[in-house]
Structure 1
Amino acid sequence: MFSQGDSTSDLPQPVQSRARRASPLPPPRPSLLNSSRNENEQQYNNNSTTIPITYSTDFIWTMENGGLRKRPVPTQDAPDYTQQAQNIYSGDKFDKAELQSSRRGSHLGRLDLTDIVLLGLLTAASLFTRLYKISWAKYVGKANSDEAHFGKFASHYLKREFYFDVHPPLGKMLLGLAGYLAGYDGTFDFESGKVYPDDLNYTGMRVFCAICGATIVPLAFLTALELKMSKQASFLLGVFVLVECSFATISRFILLDSLLLMLTATSVYCLVRFRNEQAARPFSRTWWGWLLLLGINIGAVLSVKWVGLFAIALVGLHTIEDLWEMLGDLKMPWRTYLKHWIARILCLIMIPVAVYMTCFLLHFAILTRSGPGDAQMSSLFQAGLIGNDFDENPLEIAFGSRISLKNNGHGGGLLHSHVQRYPTGSEQQQVTCYHHKDANNEWYVTKPWGVEIPGEKYDGEPEFLEDGAIIRLVHAQTTRNLHSHSAHKAPVTTSEYEVSCYGNSTLGDKNDHWKVEIVTDVLVPETKRVRSLTTQMRFRHVMTGCLLRSHNVILPQWGFKQAEVLCQKEGEDLSPFNIWNVEKHINSRLPQPRAGTPRPRSYFLHDFVHLNVAMWTSNNALVPDPDKEKDILTSTPREWPLMLNGLRMVGWADDAIKYYLVGNPTTWLGSTFGLVALVGLILTYIIRWRRQIRDFLPEEYKDFAFAVHTGLLGWFLHYMPFWIMGRVTYLHHYFPALYFALISFAFVIDHISIRLVPNWWSRTIIMSAIGALAIANFVYFAPLSFGFNVPAADMKGREWISAWNLLEP
């Protein structure tokens, strides 16, 4: 097929492989997907000597030999693919210059005038669609209260009050910064449905989110260029992201989603840029720069929402494959290979971890005042906050003291009880751990049954609580005794004993008795007396020997999603979940600490781990109630790919300004079709490759495989985990996956059109028609994104699916 005079100077030379060698393949059969390629090859073969050839494919997907890649070693008779490429892409059917350009590293340094004009048009249009009428709704989102939710967090940063949320702090710190730059002082309470006061520049805060949301449009265009898509397809992808109604709507409110989308898009772009630099100039300055930016971006996207873990997984899988391919290159010295490992460990592991931890360091440094989230943190952390009431705690605990007990486990709460009873077991009063401060967290320290001193009524000299003392803990609000027994199992962890509240001030038994065992004291390690805040102790049940324990297991709805408390039979003496300290201490007969008494402090690493565990525990508690009907605001992953549900962003009164979160049918449903088509395309190529039909040149295949990995794998990683999550899900959880689906959609259109429609103008007309349809749909659904103040019934024609609940009151 190839003459001996063919040149190979334009393509990389074959490399030796550490992988298993394979015998030469017979001559490839002609491709049926490209008639022009068949004609050119046939004409060339008539005038050439046909010789056997072998392949040097790096990423061929095959299930042969147990799924292992087969990487044949090139022989000395390997063909010259350059001349073949010239034959295949000759004539006016393909843009030869564009093909050659696509093989040279990154595209950004080679943006021509057309690219710059298209980029400018997309950026301007993106800003318009995100900013148009952005201040029209002058009230906080009512039905979907997330704007109230995150607006309050911004206020806490400006007032420097500590709060708690299930998401990492970076996005909310940026919202607080936006409020500061807009002149907001943090005093507005952001109640759902409340009208913004005239002196609050809410528009400035929304503009910040809108600009973040607008950046994904030019980023999509640049990413497509770096994925070696044609200019038409790159511009089409930019149009898809531009006119996706859900992206335009979600960017108009004070939310984290626009920040999440922006950082997801920048992470993908940095990944693609780095891959191109890796292929062209490894260890160059630009190579290091894009690798470093990639690490910073994946650390930042994780610091906005934990959904960023899926972006990290995408980068991690690409990195593993990249290092695996390098392992098979015998020409690469081991020292160079080790440098690649070190570079990736530094930039893709250590840098993201540093970014994530730095966000929490700033979070703690800013929020120095006591606030509504104090109870989620350890007692020592709270002691370091300005404005707490711990200075009023008497130093040492005595019988008759009224106390609250904090569990020392990461994410631990306060020992709590309430009048509700267990539905099973003893059916006595529930005991839980709770992360909010109220009177149901308070207990009296009293003497055991049979002792004359009645605890709180004792008015003689204080008798201090010491190591080894036998006590009862009496719930202050219900006067019931903290109780355990071997006859009943814990409600969730059935291998352990139940803990309940039982009896009253005159009724009880020895199962109400607990032995105090001091573990240590932060300030006075050898103390024999229990001190508030600093003494860490266990409570051992006298009758059974089990230890009072709480852990991060959440009770069902009947337990109000609070943490389970149990008595561990074979107690782990030093487990932090079995250790408690006194947090609040009230006893009027004891003196308050002297001024200047040392106040203990917690350490950053302890606070960092504690807060993340608390976030994880609270996030796992966000599960739907099986006893309630499905909320019209929630949706399931099953509904997302086909856009079977929408979301009301505000109240739905006839005269209210209303926003409805729904996708553009062309782009949303088209992206789902694109994913299915891409899977079909992959299967087709695998079958054809197994039949020894060559459809790609080696470098061309690498570009194809990388683009497929980026779009399809990115969608899979950002979508499929929600199927196994127990938490409540909403439509906006699909948005990062939708971004990858749109990349796949544009890539499929580009790939198929190049092979089936050789003429450049014909392809341009086809892509223009698809883009025009997407724009027409956006214009039609624009009132749902930009807002409408007419009765929802006037939008009846836009409710294409009854489940969208656009018309229901």
Structure 2
Amino acid sequence: MAANVRFRRPASPPPGIAYAGQTRFPQQRQHYDADEKRAAASKGFGPRRTKSYPSGGLNLTMGELKLLFLVVLIACGVRLFRLSKPHSVVFDEVHFGKFASKYIKSQYFVDVHPPLAKLLITFAGFAFGYNGHFDFKDIGKMYENVPYVAMRMVPATLGVATVPLAYLTLRALDCRATTALLASLFITFENGLVTQSRHILLDSPLIFFTALTVFFWTGFTNEDKHEPFTTNWWTWLVLSGLSLGAVVSCKWVGLFTIATIGVSTIWQLWNLLGDLRVTPRLFIRHFMARAICLIALPIIFYMLMFQIHFLILENSGDGDGFMSSEFQHTLKGRGMADTFADVSVYSTVTIRHVNTQGGYLHSHPHAYPGGSQQQQITLYPHRDHNNEWQIANATVISDYDPTSLVHITPNMRIKLLHTATGKRLHSHDVRPPVSDVDFQNEVSGYGVPGYDGDANDDWIVEIDDGDSRDTESYKRLRTLRTKFRLKHPMTGCYLFSHKVKLPDWGFEQQEVTCNKNAVHDNSLWYIETSEHVNNSPNAPKVNYKLPGFFGKFFELQRVMWTTNAGLTDRHTFDSRPDSWPLLRRGINFWVKDHKQIYLMGNPMIWWSSTLAVVLYALVRGFLVLRQKRGFRDFDNTKVVKYNTLCSFLFIGWALHYFPFFLMARQLFLHHYFPALYFAILLYCSVFDLVTSTLRPRVRLYAAGILVVLAIWNFQHFAPLAYGTEWTRAQCENAKWMKTWDFSW
């Protein structure tokens, strides 16, 4: 029995998008007469008459399973060969290895990517005894006491697993076994996918879960055409939802996969809506099932990954500065004791910026190298005794008692004394060293012992907002509750900070200036802690309202979005989307001793898949024009089958490619890989159509020629994937395009 295991072929059209009239339900089956069933079966559209209907629409013989197993073994050899080489940090292992270290040490960090792929890599390192003490600081740094091979095994294993998924997906899409084999071998010998899957990087998990989602969705679509609301139907739908959650939990590029499945789902529901045999109640069942499994389930999965992320990263780390003060105080080492609510003259306070991740107003005994050469004033994200300031009343009152509580009210003129150095917060008509423009003035620390300062030390308090829980916060400064601005009366500028950082002489801390055209949010401040010599122990105290999971989750999503959008600096090997389909340029990963790892696609596979995409678009447009002229090409069952199949894959390619044109951020060739996966499947589907009239042996020969060409291209550029030695002549002969900038 095992040797003859067969699975049901799907009703046509097999891909994720069904056309009107194709959906069949148990309730409807009685409406089809015997002649219609026989006619459909004769054209290959109807279900085979078997004793059972296993799920997914697959039709695999034992011979195919053995062949697929052999292909997987080949893929293992290709991706695991010399996996331990080089024995040093490669490209973005600098980042993702470092994040694994921080997970193991439970130190909070911020990354623009969701946590799933990083968690998988971390788990591998932890399971093999990694203690998190290697810093992954520089490309080329030699590994010491790091199970980097085990960590590289995660993307490598998922890269191998993508190979059978390509095969199974095309078989479920009702393509021939030869076509599916061709796709699996193309994925196996695609140089770019091989290179990316051999290092501690996130793209291989992303591509795996993209492929897994497409496979599960194809299986669900086939089951949906056969008989909905069965156990198998629900299984495929739930697996599709979980896989969607996984792909978007690796990288936000997974949103494009969600869009692909979303388009397919909308098309299915649209066809159901136009089918008069589908009652409103049945349509609602279909709608709700898809909404729960394809919307709610991925969201729950995605949030669960962040819950694990928060549970692991419980300690303070270098990512604190990206988060709000409330968020920071949920971390161990950042908790703050209750502080006095009242702020008064002679209170010692710490002052935080409302915007730009809320750093502290800070000074230290180092001078500006230019300008006034007075003491530096900066914004610093960490707690430090150099963040403490004492408030003084700028109006001279001879009989003023320092132990009395005189509240800080609107328009009061104050001075701020830096308690550690004795300097006063000062501004004047001198341009700052970095933001050297007319409307920006330098802010510095000025003064000497015994000197009361001058008028340029004065600041006027302007209360901007308060807290609805504390009505007094609108009337006077209250700790944590009042947002205020500080206006310099002599120049009319406002104390201001922005994301500009000082050079090394300023320890890369954030610049503070006095801005005459200050952006409102960047000139807002608040008091975080307050202490007065005359505070009674029973005086009112306040503290941060700590956020729960949802507060932390949504804040982190905003920070990730802002940080990701801010990655606009140019990189030596970045590229724009228009260059990707033509493989105009790769990425240098690692270089040493005439050996180089350079992310480079397989030209034959890359260019052929791009050609297939273009040809499909042209032929599809031509058929639409013919339809307008009265031709009935779409009455042909073969045209309908391949148009529907290729449409689904083309939409997947387009939705994973064109959105990058809207992004101003830094982009690289590897961003094209999910689209490349769809392009390869589309290329093989076109091959299936073109060879559909050929005899099986001739079709096999044609596929064999393409595979041989792909393998030859692979081995020609293999030294760039494995970092093996090659001669200068081999290197120069491999430069088929002037824009390929690898070197010997």
TM range (shorter): 0.7 to 0.9
**Contact map agreement 1:401 1:444 (CA 8 A) in 2:** yes
Cα offset for 1:119?
Answer: 1.8
Which residue, out of 80, 83, 89, partners 1:131? 80
Q: Is structure 2 residue 20 aligned with structure 1 residue 58? A: yes
1:249 corresponding residue in structure 2: 195
Q: Are 2:347 and 2:530, in contact at CA under 8 Å, matched by a contact in 1? A: no
> What is the TM-score of this pair, normalised by structure 1?
0.74
Deviation at 1:582, TM superposition (A): 3.6
* Structure 2 counterpart of 1:772, from 682, 690, 708: 708
Alignment-derived partner of residue 461 in structure 1? 403
Alpha-carbon deviation of 1:444?
3.7
1:28 aligns with none
Q: How far does residue 608 in structure 1 lie from its aligned partner after superposition?
A: 1.2
1:337 is the counterpart of 2:271? no
Mapped partners of 1:101, 1:436: distance in 2 = 70
Instruction: Please name the residue that 2:738 is paired with.
Output: 802
- SS of residue paired to 1:212: helix
Q: 1:149 to 1:441 in 2, by over 3 A?
A: farther
CA distance in 1, matches of 2:313, 2:526: 24
Alpha-carbon contact 2:59-2:171 (below 8 Å) kept: no
C-alpha separation between the residues in 2 aligned to 1:316 and 1:441? 53
TM-score (norm 2): 0.80
Q: Give the C-alpha shift of residue 769 in structure 1.
A: 1.0
Structure 1 residue 638 and structure 2 residue 604: aligned? no
Change over 3 Å in CA distance of 1:504–1:452 after alignment to 2? farther
1:469, distance to aligned residue in structure 2 (A):
6.9
Q: Secondary structure at the match of 1:222?
A: helix
2:695 is the alignment partner of 1:733: no
* Cross-structure match for 1:200: 146
1:3 maps to none
Matched, 1:262 2:208: yes
**Superposed displacement of residue 277, structure 1:** 1.4
For residues 472-551 of structure 1, the aligned pairs below 5 Å read 472=414, 481=426, 505=446, 506=453, 512-516=459-463, 519-520=466-467, 534-539=480-485
- Please, which of 757, 767, 787 is the counterpart of residue 723 of structure 2? 787
**Structure 2 contact 377–444 (Cα < 8 Å) conserved:** no
Mapping for residues 266-305 of structure 1, pairs under 5 Å: 266-305=212-251
Specify which of 748, 752, 757 is matched with residue 686 of structure 2: 748
Which amino acid in the other structure matches residue 321 of structure 1?
W
> How far did residue 437 of structure 1 move?
4.0
Q: Is the 8 A contact 1:105 1:280 kept in 2?
A: no
> What does residue 449 of structure 2 align with?
none
For residue 567 of structure 2, give the secondary structure of its aligned residue in structure 1.
Answer: coil
Aligned-pair CA distance for 1:214: 1.3
Structure 2 counterpart of 1:607, from 532, 549, 552: 552
Asked if residue 179 in structure 1 is aligned to residue 114 in structure 2, the reply is no
1:568-597 CA deviation, whole Å, 9 max, x = no partner? Answer: 99999xxx9997544477999989999x99
**Higher alpha-carbon deviation: 696-705 or 325-334:** 696-705
Q: Residue 483 of structure 2: SS of its match in structure 1?
A: strand
Gapped runs of 5+ residues in structure 2?
A: 1-8, 13-17, 23-31, 369-373, 430-434, 447-452
Query: Are 1:166 and 2:112 counterparts?
Result: yes
- Corresponding position of 1:616: 561
Alpha-carbon distance in structure 2 between the residues aligned to 1:331 and 1:549: 69
2:648 is aligned to: 710
- Amino acid in the other structure paired with 1:773: L
CA distance in 1, matches of 2:141, 2:658: 39
8 Å Cα contact 1:715/1:741 also seen in 2: yes
Task: Quickly say closer, same or farther: Cα 1:213–1:444, change in 2 above 3 A.
Answer: same
Contact 2:10 2:172 survives alignment (8 Å): no
1:567–1:704 Cα change, 3 Å: farther
| Total equivalences in the alignment | 690
- Residues 661 and 279 (structure 1), Cα distance of their counterparts in 2 relative to 1, 3 Å cut: same
Please tell me whether the aligned partners of residues 296 and 351 of structure 1 are also in contact (alpha carbons under 8 angstroms).
yes
Q: Aligned partners of 2:612 and 2:122: how far apart in 1? A: 39
* 1:385-409: CA deviation from partner (whole Å, max 9, x where unpaired): 22237459787655463524142x7
Partner SS, residue 349 of structure 1: helix
**TM-superposed deviation, 1:564:** 11
Structure 1: segments with no counterpart, 5+ residues: 1-9, 14-55, 61-75, 90-95, 422-428, 485-490, 492-496, 626-630
The answer for the alignment partner of 2:604 in structure 1 is 666
1:129-158 CA-to-partner distances (Å, cap 9, x unmatched) read: 1111000211112xx3x1011011001111
1:646-665 equivalent positions in 2, closer than 5 A:
646-650=586-590, 652-654=591-593, 657-665=595-603
Q: How does 1:555-594 map to 2 (within 5 A)?
A: 581-583=526-528
Displacement of 1:751 after TM fit? Answer: 1.3
Counterpart CA distance in 2 for 1:433 and 1:272 is: 57
Change (3 A) 1:609 1:463: same
- C-alpha change, 1:351 and 1:512, in structure 2 (3 Å) is same
Deviation at 1:460, TM superposition (A): 4.0
Task: Tell me, in whole angstroms, the C-alpha distance in 1 between the residues paired with 2:501 and 2:227.
Answer: 56
Q: Assess if the C-alpha contact under 8 Å between 2:426 and 2:457 holds in 1.
A: no
Give CA-to-partner distance per residue, 1:580-631, whole Å, 9 cap, x none. 544477999989999x998853222221111111111111111135xxxxx4
Instruction: Report Cα offsets for 1:64-109 as digits up to 9, x if no partner.
Output: xxxxxxxxxxxx99996965985xx7xxxxxx7999799x895565
Query: What amino acid is the match of 1:303?
Result: S
234-243 or 559-568: bigger deviation: 559-568
What SS does the corresponding residue of 1:150 show, helix, strand or coil?
helix
Q: What residue is the counterpart of 1:46 in the other structure?
A: none
Distance (whole Å) between structure 1 residues aligned to residue 334 and residue 266 of structure 2: 49
Moved more, 663-672 or 167-176: 167-176
- Within 2, Cα distance between the matches of 1:420 and 1:291? 64
- Residues 350, 361 of structure 2: 8 Å contact kept: no
Deviations along 1:40-84, one digit per CA (max 9) or x if unpaired, are xxxxxxxxxxxxxxxx97399xxxxxxxxxxxxxxx999969659
- Partner of residue 93, structure 2: 147
Match of 1:67 in 2: none
1:212–1:601 distance in 2 versus 1, CA, 3 Å: same
Q: For the structure 1 residues 311 and 441, does the alpha-carbon distance in structure 2 shift closer, same or farther, using more than 3 Å as the test?
A: farther
Secondary structure of 1:648's aligned partner: strand
